[in-house]
Amino acid sequence: MSGSPTIRQSALELAGVATRVLEVDGAGPAVLLLHGFSDSADGWRPVLTELARHGRRAVAVDLPGAGWAEPLGRPALPVLDRVVGAFAARYADMPVLLVGNSLGGLLALRAGGRPGPALAGIVAMDPAGLAYAPSLRLLSRLIGPATAPVQSLLRLPIPGGLVRLYARIVFEIALSQGRAGGEAGRIYASHVHDRRGLLRLWDDLRALNEEGREVVDVAAIRVPVLLIWGALDCITPVDAAGRMLAVVPDSRLAVLSDCGHCPQLQRPIQVADLIASFAEPFDTADHRTPGTSGSPDHPRENR
């Protein structure tokens, strides 16, 4: 393909939640993209562009509480699961490929372990729910006790511009590690309009933290899984992949050097190449029985 592919934006309702999708045209099973906590569908724009150049149909969604979507209801994980299920069903004219980063990776893996729309496979990038770095485990223990003072602080009249500046700094340091470019940081910060937005994010984080105990039934996954991991991830270390590789028969791992927690922002070309390659066996009409894992002879990868 020549030129820059067109990314279409449209409103959608999924499981009763008003939201937005970004989509590119192409062939094969739909590649459905799930972002991480506090990110949005916009974080997938570089990968959407590259998948379009591969000739792949791909759709990214704003999950509840993020981007343009309505707030996240409670209990948080079941709400997210229902939205992901409805998202997959919307595009399931053939088995879909679920791709997620961080929280989105966790949601994709959860979908692979329960009844629902037929999945061709799962690509989980630095997924949450398998293991966390010591610093994140400490933060998890502190979230509950810190809730009251944080909520009080976020009720102060903090200017919206300062909130967006803070969000951009967090994005640059913690998420993209300076590898995604200034425009990506500006788009990320644009979804956090004011202190109320920060307060909602904190409350969502607290809810997910309270619910997030043994949240992935790895043994229930019956579809092929590709794990993509940034070698420099300091949030969910790559050692966590071992649990998945040991239990899921058709699973493999691709490790990206000089990459952190968000490969879709830091290495979009390589991520799109890996997704497109993983999707190739599912392009023909001769699909495996939905809900079963694929052939056990796919090699595991290390890159």
Question: Residue 79: which CATH number?
Answer: 3.40.50.1820
In a domain, 171, yes or no: no
CB neighbours of residue 211 within 10 Å:
14
Sheet holding 17-24, edge to edge: 8-14, 17-24, 56-61, 27-34, 96-101, 119-125, 225-230, 251-256
Domain that holds residue 89: 8-133+215-282
In a domain, 194, yes or no: no
Q: Which residues pair with 122 in a beta bridge?
A: 98, 225
CA dist., res. 249 & res. 120, Å (int): 15
In a domain, 222, yes or no: yes
Burial zone of 202 (CB within 10 Å; 0-12 exposed, 13-18 middle, 19+ buried): middle
In a domain, 232, yes or no: yes
Q: Indicate yes or no: pTM above 0.85.
A: yes
Instruction: Express each pLDDT in 60-86 by its tens digit.
Output: 999 999 999 999 999 999 999 999 999
CB neighbours of residue 11 within 10 Å:
9
Please state the separation of Cα 36 from the chain's center in Å. 4
Q: Which residues pair with 100 in a beta bridge?
A: 34, 124
Question: Looking at residue 59, what is its pLDDT?
Answer: 98
- When divided into structural domains, the chain yields a total of 1
Share above pLDDT 70 across residues of the chain, in percent, rounded to a whole number: 86
In a domain, 197, yes or no: no
CA dist., res. 193 & res. 161, Å (int): 8
Question: Looking at residue 134, what is its pLDDT?
Answer: 60
- At 214, the pLDDT band (50, 70, 90 cuts) reads low
Tokens of 265: 């922002």
Q: What b/e sequence results for 26-53 when a residue is b if at least 16 CB atoms lie within 10 Å of its CB, and e otherwise?
A: bebbbbbbbbbbbbbbbbbbbbbbbbbb
Alpha helical stretches, state H, the chain: 45-53, 76-90, 103-111, 134-153, 160-170, 182-190, 195-211, 241-247, 263-266, 268-279
In a domain, 85, yes or no: yes
- At 160, the pLDDT band (50, 70, 90 cuts) reads confident
CB 107 within 8 A of CB 100: yes
CA dist., res. 62 & res. 72, Å (int): 11
Q: What is the mean pLDDT of the chain?
A: 85
In a domain, 303, yes or no: no
**pLDDT above 70 for 303:** no
Burial zone of 291 (CB within 10 Å; 0-12 exposed, 13-18 middle, 19+ buried): middle
Instruction: Express each pLDDT in 111-144 by its tens digit.
Output: 999 999 999 999 999 999 887 756 556 556 656 6
In a domain, 144, yes or no: no
Sign of the CA dihedral with 146 first, then 147, 152, and 156 last:
positive
Q: Which residues pair with 234 in a beta bridge?
A: none
Amino acid residing at 76: A
- At 107, the pLDDT band (50, 70, 90 cuts) reads very high
